[in-house]
Structure 1
Amino acid sequence: MVPYGEAVPVSPAPAAAGDADPAADSAAVPTGISTARKRKNRAIAAETRIGLVRRARRMNRTLAAAFPDAHCELDFTTPLELAVATILSAQCTDVRVNLTTPTLFAKYRSANDYAQANRVELEEFIRPTGFYRNKTSSLIGLGQALVEKYDGDLPHTLDELVKLPGIGRKTANVILGNAFDVPGITVDTHFGRLVRRWKWTDEEDPVKVEHAVGALFERKDWTMLSHRVIFEGRRVCHARKPACGACVLADDCPSFGLGPTDPAVAAKLVKGPERDHLLNMVGL
C-alpha cells in the first residue's frame, strides 16, 4: 500500500477503466441505463490500482475545469474567525453561518474575547446556527485554551489543533488548508458520499476515507480537491437525487444511473452560481 501523503507513480498516458476485465463480475449496477453503460460500470468496479489512480486524477482535472473558483464557502478574514465559523457550521449550512458571523466577529475579535465572553450573550449571537449551547461551550473553551497555551493564536499543526475544544480532525483540516496553506483533506458528508459513489474508497470512517483518498493524489492537491468534491456534492451529486444526466463526471462515475439520466430532467437538479457553466460543459 502506498503511504499516506506519498504520490502514487503513474505514467502520463490516460487510461479509463479499460485496464479492467469488462466481463468481470461486480456489484449490481443501476437499472434503466444502457448495456454499454452497465458494461463500463462493471469495468470500473474491476479496475486495477493504477487504473483507479488514473481515473481519480482525471476526475479531479474535470472538477477543476467545472469549478475553477472552488473555495471554502465560510466567510472569514483570520484563522480564528475560520475556526469559529467552522465550529458553528456543525449541523448548520454555510449560508446560515455566514449570516450569523458578521455581528459575532464585530463583537468578538480575539481569543481573549471568547475566553471572557458572557455565556448568555454569546448564546444569543449564535442561536441561529443551532446547538448553540454546546457551540458556546466550545467557543469559550477554545478561547481559554488559546490564551493559556498559545498566546491567543491558533497553532499550525494537526496534532495541536485537534486537542482544542470544538476542533476535530475535519475542522483542523479546514483551518490548515484555508488559513495556513497546509494541504489537508476535508471529509464532510458530501466528500464521504461522493468518494464512495465514485469507488475511490469503500471506507466509512472519516479518518480512513481521508487516508485512502489522500493516497490517490499528490499532497499539494488535497485542499483544492476537497473544495471541488464538496462543490460537486452541493451542486450536482445530491444525496437523494444526483443529476447524473447533467454531470461532467458521468463517463468516469461507476454510480451513473442513481439519479435521472435524461439530460433535460437532470439539468433541473443542478444548483449554484456555476449552473450555466456546468450545463454548457455537458452540452446542455
Structure 2
Amino acid sequence: MKTKLLSFLLLLLSFTYVNAQEAKFMVLGAKGEITSDGKKVNVGDMLVSNASVKVNGTNPYLGLAYIAGGTLELTKKGSFEVNDLEKKLSNKNNDLVSKYVDFIKDELTGSSGETSSQAKYGSVTRSLKKKPIYFYAPINSNAIKSEVTLTWALKEGVSSNDKFKIYIKDRKQHVLVEDDVQGTSYKLDLNDAKLKDQKYLFYYVEDASNHKISSDMYAFQVYMMGEDKETDKELAQLKENNTAIGHLILAKYYEDKGFIVNASSAYEKAIALSNGDKQYTKMYQDFQSRYGS
C-alpha cells in the first residue's frame, strides 16, 4: 500500500512539473554543441521554463526570440537557466522588434510565403533581367544613405575570370565612380563625397576583359535621414541592437520597406556576428533567390 502511494505521489509530482514548464524562447539560430536538458537544440525548437541550456563547441552561437518580445544571444560557452534568461528580457518588449521577429519565425517554420513586396519586386526583376550578369536587387529600388553591398552573379553558362568593372552614374549619366573589382560584390559608401549627395544613382557592372558580358542598368533612390520622421524613429530603435539577430531584424525591416541593397548588407553582418550560422546563411540565400534572375 505504501509503495502504491509513493508511486502515485511521484507520478503526481512529475505531472505537475511537466505542466509547470511553459515555452519561453524560440530558437532562431544555433551553431556548435547546443543542448537543453541533455537533448540537442535545433532551429525552431522551444526552450521551456525550469530547463537549462548548455552552449559548447568552437565559436558557439545561440539566437533566441522571447515569446513576449525581444531577442537574446549567447556566444560564450557555459550552462544557462531559462528562467534566468527570461529575467533579462521580461521588461524589454518592443512592438516593432516583435513584428519583425515574427517575420523571422514564420520564415524559419515555413508558415508563410513571400510578402507582397517580395512578390512584387521578384516578378519585376525576373522579367527585366536579360543580360549575362544580374544583381541581387530589383532593377529599381530604394537605399538608405549608408554603406551598402552590391552583389551580382553570372547567368548559367556564362564564364568570367572573376574580374569586373563597376560604374556608378548620376541621372545625366555622368560617371561618379569607376572601380575595378575582384569577385562578385562591391561595397559602396553612399556618404562618399564623389556621389555629391545624389538623390538618384544608376549602376552596372561588366567583365573587365569583355564589356559585352555586362548587367542591365540598375537604379536606386537614395533616402536621406530626416525625410520621414517615422522611418528615422524606427531605424533608431532597430539599430540599438547591434547583434546578429538585431541585424537579421534590420534585414527584414529593410526588405519590407524596399531598401533591398541595405537588406543585403544587414544579412551579411548578421552572418558574420553569428559566426556563420547556417540558418542565417540560408535566409540570406533565400533572400538572394527572391531578387536574382
Higher relative contact order (CA 8 A, sep 6+): 1
Give the TM-score, by structure 2 length: 0.26
Larger radius of gyration: 2
More helix by share: 1
Give the TM-score, by structure 1 length: 0.26
